[in-house]
Amino acid sequence: MTPALLPWRVATVAAVKQESVRAKAILLDVPDWPGHLAGQHLDLRLTSEDGYQAQRSYSISSPPDGLLHLEITVERVDDGEVSPFLLDELRIGDRIELRGPIGGYFTWMPGEGGPLLLVGGGSGVAPLMAILRARSRSGDRTEARLLYSARTVDELLYRSELDSLAAAGDAFELIVTLTRGAPDAWTGEEGRIGREMLSARGFPAEDRPRVFVCGPTPFVEACADALVALGHDSSLIKTERFGPTGDVK
Amino acid sequence: MLITRGFRGKERNRGAARDRVPPGQYVTPDFPVLSAGPTPRTALDRWSFGLRQAGRTLAEWRWTDFEKLPQTEVTVDIHCVTKWSKLDTRWRGVTFDDLLRAAGLDAPPTSFVMAHCDGGYTSNAPVADLANGQAMIATHYEDQPIAPAHGGPARLLVPHLYFWKSAKWVRWLDFIEQDRAGFWESLGYHIYGDPWREQRYEGDA
Amino acid sequence: MTEEVAVLDGNAAAGPLAALFAVEPTTMMITCERCGREGPLAALKLYGGAMGMILRCPECGTANLRFTDAGGQVTLDLRGSARLTVPDPGV
């Protein structure tokens, strides 16, 4: 056998944190983790006692400085196979297999410049959170905006942390939009991210922002199309689609 | 390989219908979709189905003519190489035998067939596995026209082989002298694909 | 019967492909043999699911790369790609 360039490693669950009504952050200890870039993902592999295996990719939401646990954020997929296990069954001290870090396209590291326009739909905000955490922890002051679309206020991930990042006064602006109704006191945006919201709240195309769009495929397609229509250089728009990679029903 | 504590996986009903479920398969009530490309949407008035051999068209039917061919209904179990099986699926269409008959062919002209589909997908099978009621060009599933994602307007149905052989969006069968690998067969999957012998991959006995 | 199959992109192919390449696969530039479009592997459209991966040109839909990990062997079919460029990984 050729030695694998990307070996499976054993991670131990160090902590589990409720991030929204539908999602948890899972913090992992991986003793031989080689480090990662903000925006990369990992593959997780679960094996049942009878040998059945299921594999899924998760974005890494922790920053790359290696001081913290490796974090993934898992949102419940109704009728799913892996996310209900991770959310309902997995406990501190459990061991799971993973390999990574994976990907080098959808990444940004402090010092790479901007302005930085991050556009996230649902749990697509996870790799963008790694970018924001990396930016903040390194003291990078690149002008940055996050346009974050969630269905309801209960489903917002990293809510208090994002609010404090936005209050830090280091040129980061948070714009949250809710697509399935907002509470009475809501002061953010409502409705889907489209041309109008990208034009009003994003950076003008002339500023040549580096754009990162992550979310379900229809969300990514709609945002990327709107950005191109607004004159953004398509080579500056990086996209990452997520959804079921196996057979879907 | 580390066993994940508490992980069982979903819907692997291994106890049920054991004699009907080939080795390594699990039964699912779902109908998963797996496609090598975007779903083609050929309008019925531009659709045709043909039998071909060595560049010649032996017979060809437009949709309205195809619908008038003898209809057969079957209830069969289907088995995907990705390990799901679905029991008692009901299909309607035109059997391979009836196609030969309608084309005026007394016997199949060669021993192998390559199915060609919209989108460029191909799959191969021996004629012996298509004849005698074993295969059809299906146009209906559970009394409804087959949905585009599941291969509509028409798909090959060879239920006793792994389900990738039942090529979606099929447009013609090419009669070939020698067996050749189709799309998945040339990417490491078995040339024949018998689920009962677990012929999943190239080289499986 | 059910909805349309989801399409992902080349980012999701990075893990399996990393078994084959000494360089990070998603930043590889792939030129489509049919339409000549050049772009990173990450931006190709991903189809296929559990049987294998088919990466298609986002411009013309041509399959640029097919990949399976089946029965103990990994198969890569690059028909449909005119060329593949990577930044010099150095020595």
pTM of the model: 0.91
Q: What is the pLDDT of residue B13?
A: 57
What's the length of chain C?
A: 91
Q: A125-138 vs A159-166: helix axis angle to the nearest 10?
A: 40
Question: Per the structure block, which two tokens stand in for B39?
Answer: 């779903």
What is the nearest CA distance from B32 to chain A, expressed in angstroms?
A: 4
Residue A96 touches partner B, C-beta closer than 8 Å: yes
Is the model's pLDDT at A108 over the cut of 80? yes
Closest CB to B188 among C49, C61, C70: C70
Residue B109 has a CB neighbour count (10 Å cut-off) of: 18
User: What's the pLDDT score for residue B135?
Assistant: 98
A154 φ/ψ angles, rounded to the nearest 5 degrees: -70, -20
Interchain contact C61–B (C-beta under 8 A): yes
Mean pLDDT across the stretch B73-82? 96
Per-residue pLDDT tens over the stretch A192-246: 999 999 999 999 999 999 999 999 999 999 999 999 999 999 999 999 998 764 4
What ipTM does this complex have?
Answer: 0.89
Cα dihedral angle (B60, B62, B64, B69), rounded to 10 degrees?
20
Assess whether pLDDT exceeds 50 at residue C69: yes
> Which of C1, C49, C61 is opposite residue B34, by nearest beta carbon?
C49
Mean pLDDT of B70-82: 97
Quote the pLDDT of residue A4: 65
The sheet carrying A41-47 orders its strands as A53-59, A41-47, A95-102, A9-20, A23-29, A70-75
Mean pLDDT, rounded, of chain B? 94
Question: Which residue, among A132, A182, A139, has the nearest Cα to A161 in the 3D structure?
Answer: A132
- Interface touch C12/A249, C-beta < 8 Å: no
Q: What is the pLDDT of residues B80-130, one digit of tens each?
A: 999 999 999 999 999 999 999 999 999 999 999 999 999 999 999 999 999
Choose the mutation target among B1, B2, B4, B5 for the interface with A, i.e. most A CBs under 10 Å: B4
Single out the residue of A9, A248, A238, B42 nearest to residue C5, CA to CA. A248
Q: Which chain B residue's Cα is nearest to C56?
A: B37
Residue A131: pLDDT above 60? yes
Residue among A54, A96, A247 minimizing CB distance to B9:
A54
Sign for the pseudo-dihedral over CA of C20, B199, B192, B79: negative
What is the model's pLDDT at position B30? 86
Q: How far apart, in whole angstroms, are the C-alpha atoms of residue C7 and residue B152?
A: 19
Given a cut of 70, whether residue C1 has pLDDT beyond it is no
What digits encode the pLDDT tens for the residues B123-182?
Answer: 999 999 999 999 999 999 999 999 999 999 999 999 999 999 999 999 999 999 999 999
The model's confidence at residue B8, banded by pLDDT at 50, 70 and 90, is confident
Q: Say how far apart CA B111 and CA B38 lie, in whole Å.
A: 31
Single-letter amino acid, residue A208: R
Q: What is the mean pLDDT of residues B5-21?
A: 75
Share of chain A above pLDDT 90, in %: 88
Which H helix or E strand runs over A236?
Answer: none
Q: Measured between CB atoms, does A244 come within 8 Å of chain C?
A: yes
pLDDT of residue C6: 59
Give me the phi and psi of B191, to 5 degrees please: -70, -30
Residue A66 has pLDDT above 80, yes or no: no
Task: State which amino acid sits at residue B153.
Answer: P
Radius of gyration of chain A (CA): 18
Compute the CA torsion angle C70, C46, A63, A151 (nearest 10 deg): -120
Specify the DSSP class assigned to residue A188.
Answer: S
Neighbours of chain B (3+ CB pairs under 8 A): A, C
